[in-house]
Structure 1
Amino acid sequence: MNFGSINIDYVYSVEHFVRPGETLKSDNYTIFSGGKGANQSIALARAKAEVIHAGKIGNDGAWLKEKLQKSGVNTSLIKTIDTPTGHAVIQVNKDGENAIIIHGGANQTFTDAEIEEVLDSCEAGDFLLLQNEINAVGKILQKSQNRDLTVIFNPAPITDAIQNYPLEFVDIFIINEVEGETLTKQKSPDAILNTMQKLYPKSKTVLTLGKAGVIYTHNEQRIKTAALKVKAVDTTGAGDTFIGYFLAELSRGSKIEKCLEMGTRASAICVTRKGAADSIPKLEEII
């Protein structure tokens, strides 16, 4: 069960990220489906996992729901409301790096009753995947307890409010270096992972490091997987792709080493293409 955001991505190709007071010409403009939640659901589906997406869109987002359905995502828990669909304005520079502004829209309108409805749709043993692009994440974490769920949290985009969430209820954190530094006040990967273990001793942590690979840690176990060398065109969606493939393998009972390898391979292909959801590869390509 992926309880997460659904966005429209407006992507602008630029020479460099716009500076204060600057008006910058865009070389190209494209509209993609996006949102960390939707991206991760599509990645899960393309990795052949069984995934239900719980989310909200406006009337302008009907095509996003259709895209999720065509990708193999169960969309029975996606609601259409009068509030506009969430959206992102994304700059992609000549090196393939991105800078993103997000407006929450419909993603920020979940009520207590809707949270209960989604959680009541889960079965014992299910995975519950959360990001930080919808409202009431802290409340969802609280209400997820005593339901026999494996709770996975990708705290992106990272905000100060996350420090007030009941993070002790998270079973698996999937974080990058920026998110790790915010959560732990540490900079080096080893220091981030050591502090995560101290803060959340019952939780597992997956730390993604871009071109430096990824590290998984739980208790005394620490497993590192190297990144694959590719020519990056657009890094948007790389983390979401990794998460989808990592969790798909985990849900199949694969060993952590294989979960990390599949996530790493998938994200390596993702960054060689433009867009977020549109750049997520299918399982056959990874194999």
Structure 2
Amino acid sequence: MTILNFGSCCIDNVYSVPHFARPGETLPCSSYEVHPGGKGLNQSIAIAASGVEVHHAGKVGNDGQWLIDLLKNRGVVTDELRVDEGPSGHANIQVTPDGENSIVLHGGSNQKITHDDVDTALRNDNYEFLLIQNEISSLDYLIEQAAARGMKIFFNAAPMTESVKSLPFELVDLLIINEVEGEALTGESEPDSILTKILGRFPKLNVVLTLGQDGARYADSEGFLSQSAIKVNAVDTTGAGDTFTGFFVAQYALGRPMAEVLELACRAAALSVTREGAASSIPTADEVAAKL
């Protein structure tokens, strides 16, 4: 069983600030650090950390070889990852004392994915599952081609943009979103209403709605399932969503019972917020089992 994650790789510039910068405000930071990031990179590391084989496809810029090296060192197969001219994608992240974050993203090489790149990555018939996020180009073509090859498609629809609404959701098997993304897709703000509306449009879809401090909910045609969040002292929430997604996708692909999948993903996300950084905060399955 092999997962192909066709996703982003980014360089994260992290600024520690007393509060998020307001319009017109010049705000000094108390510290500045550079970290690896991108939802794709983080989720690949999380899948590998959970003990499942994952291949990462995508592009980095001519400043991004260290991102490829990092993925390799964390157990991710990088044969489908290419180096492109120009800069890698990068994010400017403000982190407040209570661990909340605000992110501005530049796509860089992540937005240079072509149809040829998709065809090249999908030539391997051994991939059973495809994980994608909304940080690369050619998503519609990627979904269509993966579905034509019989792959099960997992879509983390983040960050949310207007273009997401026109993607072929009928070809997607599993959708993972948070409350903000769910409201943008449906116009609803209450979790059950979000899930009900999505399933009303796409009854064959399996949906996961992450709720931050309130845990997560799973829904399919047979009903809903809830998992409470694990209470911890948060230091940095930057990588929580990606940790949850990676662990969830890995265990879901293994066919574990949904209640176990939800609980393990929530536990992994909880442990990640007790550490600083995004990729660097992702725990291993053994750490999750030992500490929570």
> Which TM-score bucket, shorter chain as reference?
over 0.9
Residue 97 of structure 2 aligns with which residue? 94
Q: SS of the residue aligned with 2:148?
A: coil
Residue 111 of structure 1 aligns with which residue? 114
Residue 245 of structure 1 aligns with which residue? 247
CA distance in 2, matches of 1:249, 1:164: 29
**Deviations 1:186-225 (CA, angstroms, capped at 9, x unpaired):** 1100100000111111110000000111110111321101
CA distance in 2, matches of 1:4, 1:149: 16
Distance verdict in 2 for CA 1:122–1:104, change over 3 Å: farther
CA distance in 2, matches of 1:184, 1:20: 29
Q: Does 1:42 align with 2:48?
A: no
| C-alpha contact 2:154 2:249 (8 A) present in aligned 1 | no
CA distance in 1, matches of 2:138, 2:209: 24
Indicate the RMSD between aligned Cα atoms, in angstroms: 0.9
CA distance in 2, matches of 1:196, 1:37: 24
- How far the C-alpha of 1:122 sits from its partner, in A, is 4.2
CA distance in 1, matches of 2:56, 2:220: 28
CA distance in 2, matches of 1:51, 1:220: 29
Q: SS of the residue aligned with 1:241?
A: helix
Q: Can you give the 5+ residue segments of structure 2 that lack an aligned partner in the other structure?
A: none
**Deviations 1:210-247 (CA, angstroms, capped at 9, x unpaired):** 01111101113211011011111110010100011111
Residue 214 of structure 1 aligns with which residue? 216
Give the TM-score normalised by structure 1: 0.98
Q: Does 1:123 align with 2:122?
A: no
Structure 1 residue corresponding to 2:184, chosen from 160, 182, 185: 182
Q: Which amino acid aligns with 2:32?
A: Y
| C-alpha contact 1:270 1:279 (8 A) present in aligned 2 | yes
Between the two proteins, the alignment pairs up a number of residues equal to 286
CA distance in 2, matches of 1:168, 1:182: 18
Give the TM-score normalised by structure 2: 0.96
Taking only the aligned residue pairs, the percentage that are identical comes to 48
Q: Does 1:196 align with 2:172?
A: no
Deviant stretches of 4+, over 3 Å = none
Residue 72 of structure 1 aligns with which residue? 75
CA distance in 2, matches of 1:200, 1:28: 45
CA distance in 1, matches of 2:125, 2:229: 34
CA distance in 1, matches of 2:150, 2:47: 21
| C-alpha contact 1:206 1:217 (8 A) present in aligned 2 | yes
CA distance in 2, matches of 1:188, 1:105: 35
Q: Which amino acid aligns with 1:14?
A: V
Residue 6 of structure 1 aligns with which residue? 9
Structure 2 residue corresponding to 1:276, chosen from 249, 270, 278: 278
